[in-house]
Amino acid sequence: MNPVFSTVKVTAAGLFRAYGSILFAENPLVGGLFVAATFLFPNTALAGLLAAIAGVVTARLLQFRNLDSGLHIYNSLLVGLSLGAYYQLDMYLGVLIVLGAVLAVFATVAMADVLWRLDRLPALSLPFVMVALMVTLAAHSYGTLSRYLLPMAPRDAYISPLVDQFFTALGSAFFTPHPLAGMLMFAGLLITSRYLSLLAVAGFLCGFTTYSFLSGSPHPDLVAWNGFNFILVAMALGGIFTLPGVQSFILAMVGAVIAALVTAASETFMLVYGLPVMAVPFLMTTMLILIALTKRPASESLQVTLEAPALPEKSAERTRLAIARHGEFGSLPVMAPFYGRWDVYQGFNGPHTHQPPWQHALDFYIIEHGKSYRTDGVALNDYYCFGLPVLSPVGGFVVKTLDSLPDNAPGQVDMDNNWGNHVLIRMQNGLYALLAHLKQGSVSVEAGAYVNPNQQLAECGSSGRSPQPHLHLHIQRSETLGSPTIPFHLTTVMFQAAAKDRPQFRLFSRPEEGESVMTPKTDPALVDSLRMNVGRQFCYQVRQPGKQGDIFSKRHLSVTLDLLGESRLVMDSGASAAFTCQDHLLAFYDRAGPPDLFLDAWVLALGLTPFTEGKLAWRDQPSMRLLPTTWPQHLIAQLLLPLGGGVDSDYERRWCAGEWRQHGSHHLPLPLGPPMQAATLACIEPRLGCTRISLKKGGATLLEATLLEIGQKADAGIPAWTVVTDNKQNNEKQE
């Protein structure tokens, strides 16, 4: 590609994203719509473009990162728009705009770094407000600048006075106070996020009602110029920096009301000095509330997303998938502390000893034919779990050990030493894992040693308050034995609710009394077959049935690594999905890019694939966006599920005819109309990987894909290679 053309393309994308960022939009096409809206007032629009270009040039010359994201242009653009709304664009104002834009770039880089280090806070429009106020004060002393009389919004209602005021206030976010501008921007907002659109309307109504109630009869021009603060506060607090939900929606409305108070106070103070209020109320309200929220203790309610802010639909999808795979918020994942299958003797809130503040704990033992012991159970060695290895469920430093206490005879307890022999491990997050009732003399680690997950620490015993041999596990807040416990769960285990049930693979398991878990065995051949190394490339022949016959095409996929260290499977169409490939599973998430039925089929078929050996069943909850839909289903889903929905996916895998066959059944009920359903099949051959994928709906095949080639892209020290499959050779012979 021509480097000049590439630079222009990147710069244009950054410009459009900068415009979109004002209303939290990510799509550059939506930003382009916002650009068009500002040209209702050409003086303002041209001043904004000049500032944005100056910001781009400055950021590029100084080689600041994330140029294409619009980050460095956003505040420069606002500086230009604000000056263009008050002064006539000429040579003198042009110089002032360029200087303000350059200063805004420096301020953005500096403040973004400081605020992130301070408390993971976003810079928002703080650089713009500071620079714009500074430049406006300076402009008061320049006699060369000519005032620009910005045309005000028409007094005749387009729709109704209240609706017009909403659209005018929305347009004022771009210093374009006109209903038509607001309508265009609201259209872009609807394209971006229907939930943000709802927050915008609700936030404006709450802020406007409060503002009108307190001021009596506010002048329409004040609402037109400053009402966007109510809108932006509601969108930021309810949709961008918190997970969408009832509590965050209420917070957003409270923020809009507070913004109305701050707006009134700002007008009284700043207009005395001839300064516009601009985004000061939005900035003050949002920053103060976000800072306060960071001081809250960890909680399942009102989750703040400062480290990874995103559109509400994307945040909801991430959260839904995370809960489905990793359980509730605040629960710590730990590995099973044993080999093989163990039963739960006492679970959370157990009737014997697992009561507050120690209610978050699990006791394990082994049951065979309804009993925990052989023969008559008189001797400790009669018990199946006595003397078996105890493994570390976490990684960390050993801080306390004890193994000198004798094991109790069956039916007896040591009330003076509640925890008996034990090992206490401090994890990297500052929490502590306790393994208790260990066998006398079996502890093999010392205080100060670092232990890895699954490393043997001791043997199961019956010391302390233990009427029969068992293993106690809990996570506590401090180093003191007996300190309050916190919720945790077992990850990567085979769970079985009853003896007759088939074991299921689970990433989140919190077994109760009478249920059992076992540590799965990894299949090395399956791990090797689905290895997704960076630079790995795949070529498939895809068949899609059509009305006039089958349609064949060759599709290419490749594995890449982005700047944040995230692995992605990228299609030749530009569509992609992030994934993690660990020792025990392959898991896909974050589907991005244009529509692509082949990639959707791949992610549905292999979205969560455990590397556990043998016949296996498990569940997942991918995004409903992956399912093929008819247009009525799509419309119903868009209207009734504004934040999307999770698909109930049931998987089963077995070895058959020299390959693993992984079937998936995917189902999403809709409030109205028929449910969304699909079935997938992934065939995995040793060494080659996924050689076939099919996607069906209602028994009809929508897509079939066959692997033709698999290869590796050359890199420093890594040679390139290509393997041609039998499928390609057979296809060539047929041709």
Q: What CATH number did the domain enclosing 146 receive?
A: 1.10.3430.10
**Cis peptide preceding 357, ω within 30 of 0:** yes
Contact indicator for 399, 447 with CB cutoff of 8 Å: yes
Specify if 169 maps to a domain: no
**Residues 45 and 147 reside in one and the same domain:** yes
Strand partners, 450: 397
Helices 161-172 and 179-192, packing angle to 10 deg: 70
In a domain, 325, yes or no: no
pLDDT in tens, 35-87: 999 999 999 999 999 999 898 888 888 877 655 456 668 889 999 999 998 89
The contacts of residue 317 (CB under 8 Å, 6+ apart) are 623, 625, 644
pLDDT band at 733 (very low <50, low <70, confident <90, very high): very low
Mean pLDDT highest for which of 299-303, 415-419, 494-498, 661-665? Answer: 661-665
Average pLDDT for residues 405-424, to the nearest whole number? 94
- pLDDT category at 138 given cuts 50, 70, 90 is confident
Q: Is 156 exposed, middle or buried (0-12, 13-18, 19+ CB in 10 A)?
A: exposed
Greater confidence, 70 or 375? 375
| Amino acid identity, position 121 | L
Tell me the C-alpha distance between 533 and 513, whole Å: 42
Question: What is the per-residue pLDDT for 6?
Answer: 38
Lowest mean pLDDT: which of 322-336, 437-451, 686-700? 322-336
What pLDDT is recorded for position 8?
Answer: 42
* Residue 389 phi, psi dihedral angles, 5° rounding: -65, 140
Would you state the pLDDT for residue 635? 81
Q: How far apart are CA 646 and CA 317, in angstroms?
A: 8
218 pLDDT above the threshold of 70:
no
pLDDT at res. 672: 74
Residue 459 lies inside a defined structural domain of this protein: yes
CB 521 within 8 A of CB 494: no
Residue 350 located in a structural domain: yes
CB-based contact 635:645 (threshold 8 Å): no
pLDDT of residue 66: 58
Closest CA to 283 of 115, 415, 412: 115
Q: Tell me, what CATH number does 540's domain have?
A: 2.30.230
pLDDT digits (tens, 9 = 90+) for 386-398: 999 999 999 999 9
How many domains in the chain? 4
Beta strands in 377-470 (DSSP E): 389-391, 396-402, 421-426, 432-438, 450-451, 456-459
* Per-residue confidence (pLDDT) for residue 9, from 0 to 100: 43
Look at 70 and 16; give whichever has higher pLDDT.
16
The CATH number of the domain holding residue 418 is: 2.70.70.10
One domain, residues 401 and 474: yes
Nearest C-alpha neighbor of 225 from the set 275, 182, 176: 176
One domain, residues 514 and 551? no
Instruction: Identify the pLDDT of residue 425.
Output: 97
Burial of 456 (0-12, 13-18, 19+ CB in 10 A): middle
Q: Which helix (H) or strand (E) holds 374?
A: none
If asked whether residues 571 and 675 sit together in one domain, one would say yes
Count of Cβ atoms closer than 10 Å to residue 10 Cβ: 14
Whether 326 and 510 have beta carbons less than 8 Å apart is answered as no
Q: What average pLDDT does the segment 525-547 reach?
A: 91
**Bond from prior residue into 503 cis (ω within 30 degrees of 0):** no
Q: Is residue 318 part of a domain?
A: no
Same domain, 573 and 691: yes
Q: Which of 488, 518, 548 is the last residue of a domain?
A: 518
- What average pLDDT does the segment 125-138 reach? 87
Q: Does some domain include residue 374? A: yes
189 Cβ neighbours under 8 A, 6+ residues apart: 23, 25, 30, 196, 197, 200
Structural domain includes residue 34: yes
Task: Tell me the residue ranges of DSSP E strands in 117-167.
Answer: none
C-alpha–C-alpha distance, residues 423 and 407, integer Å:
16
Model confidence at 456: pLDDT above 90? yes
| Domain carrying residue 619 | 525-734
Nearest-CA neighbor of 434 among 383, 369, 363, 498?
363
So what's the pLDDT on residue 96? Answer: 93
Pick the residue with more confidence: 434 or 637? 434
Residue 373 vs residue 5, higher pLDDT: 373
Question: Is the CB of residue 512 less than 8 Å from the CB of residue 599?
Answer: no
Q: Please indicate, yes or no, whether residues 41 and 146 belong to a single structural domain of this protein.
A: yes
Same domain, 550 and 639: yes
**Whole-number Å distance between alpha carbons of 362 and 489:** 9
Same domain, 553 and 699: yes
Residue length, the chain?
735
550 and 492 in a common domain: no
* The pLDDT of residue 155: 59
* pLDDT tops 90 at residue 399: yes
Least confident of 329-333, 336-340, 426-430: 329-333
Stretch 606-623: mean pLDDT: 92
The answer to whether 342 and 473 are in contact (CB under 8 A) is no
Q: How far is CA 530 from the centre of its chain?
A: 24
| Alpha carbon distance 202, 230 (integer Å) | 9
The answer to whether residues 380 and 437 touch, using CB atoms and an 8 Å cutoff, is no
Same structural domain for residues 76 and 214? no
Cβ atoms 551, 544 nearer than 8 A: yes
From residue 315, give the alpha-carbon distance in Å to each of 147, 238, 295, 507, 643.
44, 11, 21, 21, 9
The residues with which 269 forms a beta bridge, in sequence order, are none
Domain boundary among 107, 130, 154: 154
Can you tell me whether residue 413 is helix, strand or coil? Answer: coil
**492-496, 581-585, 646-650: the lowest-pLDDT one:** 581-585
Is the domain of 477 the same as that of 492?
yes
In a domain, 529, yes or no: yes
> Looking at residues 254-269, what average pLDDT do you find?
88
Each residue's pLDDT tens digit, 266-304: 877 776 666 777 888 999 999 999 999 988 765 667 888
Residues 691 and 586 in one domain: yes
Mean pLDDT of the chain: 87
CA–CA gap between residue 558 and residue 710 (Å, rounded): 10
- Which one of 465, 485, 518 terminates a domain? 518
153 pLDDT more than 60: no
